[in-house]
């Protein structure tokens, strides 16, 4: 069990005990015992028992930012509420605001917190989901009777945001199926197992939920195709499929549909079946197609790596060049480069280039687009760079007209080579700013 999962279990135990009114000393005793049990068995009987005693809605309420144990207890005891939906109603109709130490502002924050929680618990970023899926695959692969585990679903399609984890578990044969389902329940970190027919849903202590497709070797290809594609892709493929298998690999499935193998990243039901049938599938970009990196921060601003370390690491990974782009002076929040630092950094880059004849470091900068659309530093300093990324880091709330004007003005500056993060969006954290229609 990884450190993150252990911490999550211990935090849940503490919160549940506090909800029951246990003292801090008692909480520590329970946590110590739970830590030992987790190390040995990968589960916690304390948490299992607490989950039976505490309404699941109260546990969810604890995850709303700004609602600690004391407030959740108060809500439960005074308003007799134990679900997010009831809490949402109470926040809307004034009951929550009327509680001592709450008020209108807190009620409004709770309402927003519930919305954010629903959004965040439904989706996570690809790299987080990939870590989770790999952890689960490893745990399942260790079970007796399992030959191999393949990560499928939207993680394999590499969507930016992931809601569901899907895995195909290939086992030794039909006789194995029932006993394997029993064993899934014992996999490390599993707290709940549901649906025992076509697929099995596993819920983990970490909060992850995974759909598991059980398959024999003879059908592994078909299972993987079904567990990977979007519903549209599967439906379109199914309509072309003829023959009754066996389908040991994905190629055999696509061949039976009269198609070449389609890369998972394209299996969205957005024209890829027609393209494959017509022999017009695009060649996808691969890691090895990338020749260099152009947006890299060093220890001169908010990065932790030196110019030389960047160069060595990039060269070791097979890249041919690297563009250093620290934040500009106005970005005080990230320790932006002062004009004097620019000279110092450029000397460092020149030295790095002299040491390596097979690798080139370019002098770049991420210059702030100021509120009026002009670039930080001004011409004299900007002229010293090989290239300039122009980015917005402040005043996200401008009107659409003003924001569009601001960005267009920055693009008109002859120093601008690249527009950085063009909408300011941070997936799951910040909405894009308004930009686009007209000047
Ligand atoms: Zn930036």
Query: For residue 82, what pLDDT is reported?
Result: 83
* Dist. CA 420 → ligand 1 center (Å): 6
Q: What angle do CA 307, 312, 318 make, to 5 degrees?
A: 125
Closest alpha carbon to 358 in 411, 311, 423 = 311
Q: How many residues does the chain have?
A: 439
Q: Which two tokens stand for residue 248?
A: 């040991």
* Burial tier of 278 (Cβ tally within 10 Å: 0-12, 13-18, 19+): exposed
* Dist. CA 364 → ligand 1 center (Å): 13
Neighbours of 279 (CB within 10 A): 8
**125: Cα within 13 Å, side-chain hemisphere:** 6
**Rounded to two decimals, what is the model's pTM?**
0.69
165, β-bridge pairs: 210
Query: For residue 401, what pLDDT is reported?
Result: 93
Query: For residue 438, what pLDDT is reported?
Result: 53
* Dist. CA 416 → ligand 1 center (Å): 14
* Dist. CA 391 → ligand 1 center (Å): 6
Q: Which two tokens stand for residue 9?
A: 């279990």
Query: For residue 272, what pLDDT is reported?
Result: 98
Query: For residue 218, what pLDDT is reported?
Result: 92
Q: Which two tokens stand for residue 160?
A: 């930016």
* Dist. CA 393 → ligand 1 center (Å): 6
* Dist. CA 161 → ligand 1 center (Å): 21
Using CA atoms, how far apart are residues 64 and 132, in angstroms rounded to an integer?
Answer: 23
Rounded alpha-carbon distances, angstroms, from residue 172 to 178, 181, 185, 264: 12, 13, 18, 26
The phi and psi torsions of 361 (rounded to 5 degrees) equal: -105, 125
* Dist. CA 354 → ligand 1 center (Å): 29
Query: For residue 196, what pLDDT is reported?
Result: 64
Kind of pairing, strands 161-162 and 360-368? unpaired
Cα torsion angle, 213, 154, 289, 353, sign:
negative
What is the secondary structure of 319-358 as a DSSP string?
-SEEEEEEE-TT-GGGTPPPHHHHHHHHHHHHHHHHH-TT
- Residue 292 neighbours by CB under 8 Å, 6+ apart: 314, 319, 320, 321, 322, 323
* Dist. CA 295 → ligand 1 center (Å): 9
* Dist. CA 425 → ligand 1 center (Å): 11
* Burial tier of 323 (Cβ tally within 10 Å: 0-12, 13-18, 19+): buried
* Dist. CA 334 → ligand 1 center (Å): 10
Query: For residue 402, what pLDDT is reported?
Result: 94
Q: Which two tokens stand for residue 44?
A: 């916690």
Question: DSSP assignment, residue 106?
Answer: H
* Dist. CA 5 → ligand 1 center (Å): 32
Question: Which pLDDT tens digits describe the chain residue by residue (439 residues)?
Answer: 667 678 878 888 888 898 888 888 999 999 999 998 888 887 888 888 888 788 778 877 887 877 888 899 999 989 988 888 889 889 989 999 999 989 999 898 888 888 777 666 678 889 989 999 999 999 999 988 899 999 999 999 999 999 889 999 999 886 788 888 888 888 888 888 887 666 889 887 767 789 999 999 999 999 999 999 999 999 999 999 988 879 999 999 999 999 999 999 999 999 999 999 999 999 999 988 999 999 999 999 888 899 999 999 999 999 999 999 999 987 656 678 888 899 999 999 999 999 988 999 999 999 999 999 999 988 999 999 999 999 998 888 899 999 999 999 999 999 999 999 999 888 877 778 888 865 4
Query: For residue 439, what pLDDT is reported?
Result: 46
Helix (H, G, I), strand (E, B) or coil at 212: strand
**72: Cα within 13 Å, side-chain hemisphere:** 26
* Dist. CA 395 → ligand 1 center (Å): 13
* Dist. CA 392 → ligand 1 center (Å): 7
First to last CA, the chain: 55
Angle between helices 339-355 and 307-316 (to 10 degrees): 40
């Amino acid at each position: 069990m990884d450190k993150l999962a252990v911490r999550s279990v211990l935090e849940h135990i503490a919160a549940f005990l506090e909800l029951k009114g246990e003292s801090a000393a008692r909480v520590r005793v329970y946590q110590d015992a739970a830590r030992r049990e987790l190390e040995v068995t990968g589960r916690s009987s304390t948490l299992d028992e607490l989950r039976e005693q505490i309404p699941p809605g109260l546990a969810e309420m604890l995850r709303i930012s700004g609602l600690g144990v004391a407030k959740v207890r108060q809500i439960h005891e005074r308003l007799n509420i134990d679900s997010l939906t009831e809490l949402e109603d109470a926040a809307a109709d004034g009951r929550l605001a009327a509680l001592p130490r709450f008020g209108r502002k807190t009620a409004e924050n709770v309402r927003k917190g519930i919305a954010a929680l629903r959004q965040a618990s439904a989706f996570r970023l690809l790299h987080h989901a990939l870590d989770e899926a790999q952890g689960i695959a490893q745990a399942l692969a260790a079970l007796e009777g399992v030959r191999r585990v393949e990560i499928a679903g939207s993680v394999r399609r590499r969507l930016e945001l992931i809601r569901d984890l899907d895995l195909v578990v290939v086992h030794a044969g039909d006789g194995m199926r029932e006993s394997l389902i029993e064993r899934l329940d014992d996999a490390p970190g599993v707290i709940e197992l549901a649906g025992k027919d076509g697929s099995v849903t596993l819920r983990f202590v970490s909060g992850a939920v995974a759909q598991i497709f059980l398959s024999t070797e003879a059908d592994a290809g078909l299972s993987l195709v079904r567990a990977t594609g979007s519903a549209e892709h599967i439906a379109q493929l199914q309509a072309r499929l003829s023959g009754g298998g066996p389908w040991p690999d994905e190629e055999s499935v696509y061949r039976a549909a009269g198609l070449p193998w389609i890369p998972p990243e394209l299996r969205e039901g957005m024209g890829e079946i027609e393209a494959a049938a017509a022999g017009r599938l695009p060649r996808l970009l691969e890691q090895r197609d990338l020749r260099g990196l152009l947006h890299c921060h060093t220890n001169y601003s908010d990065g932790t790596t030196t110019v030389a370390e960047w160069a060595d690491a990039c060269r070791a990974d097979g890249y041919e060049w690297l563009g250093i782009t620290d934040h500009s002076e106005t970005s005080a929040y990230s320790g932006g480069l002062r004009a004097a630092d620019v000279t110092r950094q450029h000397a460092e880059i020149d030295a790095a280039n002299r040491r390596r004849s097979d690798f080139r470091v370019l002098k770049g900068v991420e210059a702030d687009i100021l509120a009026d659309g002009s670039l930080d530093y001004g011409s004299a300093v900007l002229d010293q760079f090989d290239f300039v990324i122009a980015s917005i880091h402040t005043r996200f709330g401008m009107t659409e007209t003003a924001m569009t004007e601001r960005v267009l003005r920055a693009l008109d500056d002859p120093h601008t080579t690249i527009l950085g993060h063009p909408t300011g969006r941070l997936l799951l954290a910040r909405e894009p700013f308004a930009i686009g229609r007209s000047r």
